[in-house]
């Protein structure tokens, strides 16, 4: 059936190296390699590559498997997810109190008790901490789902636009709805390739417009601002410079303009536009 | 609040430990964890990221236990991990050719770690599909048929990915820029 003298193909050389060659072709391939030193060199190079790969990564199987990959642990956390999700609503009601307590000890800016803009930032920080550690359910509705924006917009009560943080290597994962101080709040989560997560929080807040304000709590931090009766918070790892850039990017995109003029009070008035542009 | 949650965890832990024994499905999944970690480590060249991938793979597998009706658990787990990694790369929108290429024209030739680093860099240069195929065959010892199933392509495609991967690694390890034609 098989012609033992037919030329050996490159596929057969690979199959030979990988032990996939039919037995009745082995002798033909071995004879071929004896008389074709270039192919023999390639075959031995491929074998050396395989050896190097196995030498570099093979030892992983001898390591102790980390606890987070323990099957029982994973099963337990899976079963408890629903219970935890139900508890989140309860947590949200406690957030104000907890955040206030944390603010006393750790925040960089200790605000006057009851300042709505600061409450907003604390709520956003608490939500940030709660959800960024979530592996399976970081968001309620994924970014790919077309109803994400309409849904959150309807609930939060304004046409929402979500900042694009692609310039920071951050991709929108999706969002969720949360109870806010004076109505529903939207929490959007972004993630980069290394699992670094940033959240963007929006809620109605009938307060005078403010500039950026920075808060830290443990290893996370937030920057909040208020524009046109809505409060915005960007939260992430406690890296002030980076967070500032993110907040500025979000602010500029949402305001649809170049660098924010801090003293410009007429920006909300669409009638005031640049002339002769 | 926390104590209520802790109590709940404790109770379930108790039930798990005494009443229910681990199903053979879960045993099979567990037995594959070391190999999944190895494959993920080689795919990502990042231990932390690799274990994240394995964790996501396990969560998905355990959640889909009721959907699994026999068959090769190992191939199925590798399929999940391969897809998750592909999603990850897609979301990164990373260029397959990294800066490593320009910065390191020639492989390191000194130091005890040189061999390991060389092969890592060589793997870095491959496009993901080729890297997957090579690692599944060479590191995990899967058959061409299994790799074809995992990648969802014909065996011929697996073989050409393997061939291209090996050719590119050879060029790199031979110390030439991949862009240059080999002159002998």
Helix (H, G, I), strand (E, B) or coil at A221: strand
Residue A105: φ, ψ to 5°: -90, -35
Distance between CA atoms of A105 and A111, rounded to whole angstroms? 12
> If you average pLDDT over residues A165-185, what whole number do you get?
90
Where does CATH 3.30.200.100 sit in chain A? 79-255
Report the CATH fold assignment for B96-184: Arc Repressor Mutant, subunit A (1.10.10)
pLDDT digits (tens, 9 = 90+) for A63-87: 999 988 988 888 877 555 544 554 5
Pairwise CB contact (< 8 Å): A14 & B5? no
Q: Which of B41, B88, B138 sits opposite A193 (nearest CB)?
A: B88
Pairwise CB contact (< 8 Å): B62 & A54? no
Q: How many residue pairs from chains A and B have C-beta atoms closer than 8 A?
A: 129
Q: For residue A11, what pLDDT is reported?
A: 94
**Superfamily assignment of A79-255 in CATH?**
MucB/RseB, C-terminal domain (3.30.200.100)
pLDDT digits (tens, 9 = 90+) for A100-156: 444 433 333 433 345 788 888 989 999 998 888 777 788 989 998 888 998 999 889
Pairwise CB contact (< 8 Å): B30 & A71? yes
Q: Which of B13, B49, B55 sits opposite A68 (nearest CB)?
A: B55
pTM of this prediction?
0.51
Which tokens sit at B71? 């068959």
Within 199-218 of A, beta carbons closer than 8 Å to B belong to none
Which tokens sit at A117? 């803009």
Looking at the DSSP bridge assignments, the partners of residue A189 are A174, A199
Q: For residue A16, what pLDDT is reported?
A: 96
Q: Contact, B140 vs B38, CB < 8 A? A: yes
B23-94: CATH number: 1.10.1740.10
Q: Going by DSSP bridges, is the β-strand pair A220-227/A210-217 parallel, antiparallel, or unpaired?
A: antiparallel
Q: Which of B42, B55, B118 sits opposite A57 (nearest CB)?
A: B42
Pairwise CB contact (< 8 Å): B119 & A53? yes
Q: A191 contacts in B (CB within 8 Å)?
A: 91
Q: Contact, A14 vs A46, CB < 8 A? A: yes
Pairwise CB contact (< 8 Å): A68 & B94? no
User: Tell me, what's the ipTM?
Assistant: 0.76
Average pLDDT for chain A:
79
Domain ranges of chain B: 23-94, 96-184
Q: What is the DSSP string of B45-110?
A: S-HHHHHHHHHHHHHHHHHTGGG--SS-HHHHHHHHHHHHHHHHHHHHT--SS-THHHH-SS---S
Burial class (CB in 10 A: 0-12, 13-18, 19+), B70: exposed
């Amino acid at each position: 059936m098989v012609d033992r003298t037919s030329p050996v193909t490159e596929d057969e050389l690979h199959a030979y190296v990988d032990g996939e060659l039919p037995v009745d072709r082995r002798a033909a391939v071995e004879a071929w390699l004896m008389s074709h030193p270039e192919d023999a060199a390639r075959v031995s190079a491929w074998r050396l590559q395989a050896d190097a790969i196995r030498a570099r990564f093979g030892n992983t199987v001898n390591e102790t498997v980390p606890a987070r990959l323990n099957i029982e642990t994973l099963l337990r956390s899976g079963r408890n997810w629903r219970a935890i999700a139900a508890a989140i609503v309860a947590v949200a009601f406690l957030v104000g109190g907890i955040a206030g307590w944390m603010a006393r000890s750790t925040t960089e800016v200790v605000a006057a008790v009851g300042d709505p803009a600061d409450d907003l930032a604390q709520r956003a920080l608490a939500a940030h901490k709660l959800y960024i550690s979530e592996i399976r359910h970081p968001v309620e509705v994924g970014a790919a789902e077309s109803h994400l924006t309409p849904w959150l917009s309807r609930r939060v009560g304004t046409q929402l636009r979500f900042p694009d943080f692609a310039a920071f290597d951050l991709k929108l994962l999706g969002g969720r709805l949360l109870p806010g101080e004076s109505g529903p709040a939207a929490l959007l989560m972004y993630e980069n390739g290394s699992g670094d997560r940033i959240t963007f929080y929006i809620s109605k807040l009938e307060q005078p417009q403010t500039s950026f304000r920075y808060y830290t709590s443990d290893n996370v931090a937030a920057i909040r601002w208020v524009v046109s009766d809505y409060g915005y918070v960007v939260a992430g790892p406690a890296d002030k410079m980076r967070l500032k850039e993110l907040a500025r990017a979000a602010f500029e995109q949402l305001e649809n303009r170049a660098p924010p003029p801090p003293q410009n009070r007429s920006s909300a008035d669409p009638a005031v536009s640049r002339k002769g542009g | 609040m926390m104590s209520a949650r802790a109590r709940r965890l404790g109770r379930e832990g108790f039930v798990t430990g005494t009443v229910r024994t681990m199903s053979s499905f879960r045993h099979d999944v567990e037995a594959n964890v070391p190999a999944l970690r190895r494959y993920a480590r080689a795919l990502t060249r990042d231990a932390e990221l690799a274990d994240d991938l394995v964790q996501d793979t396990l969560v998905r597998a355990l959640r889909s236990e009721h959907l699994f009706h026999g068959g090769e658990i190992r191939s199925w787990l590798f399929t999940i991990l391969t897809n998750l990694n592909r999603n990850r790369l897609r979301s990164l929108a990373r260029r397959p050719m990294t800066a490593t290429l320009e910065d390191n024209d020639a492989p390191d030739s000194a130091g005890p770690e040189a061999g390991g680093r060389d092969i890592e860099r060589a793997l870095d240069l491959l496009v993901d599909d080729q890297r997957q195929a090579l690692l599944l065959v060479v590191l995990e010892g899967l058959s061409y048929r299994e790799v074809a199933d995992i990648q969802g392509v014909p065996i011929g495609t697996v073989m050409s990915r393997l061939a291209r991967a090996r050719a590119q690694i050879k060029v790199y390890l031979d110390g030439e820029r991949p862009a240059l034609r080999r002159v002998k």
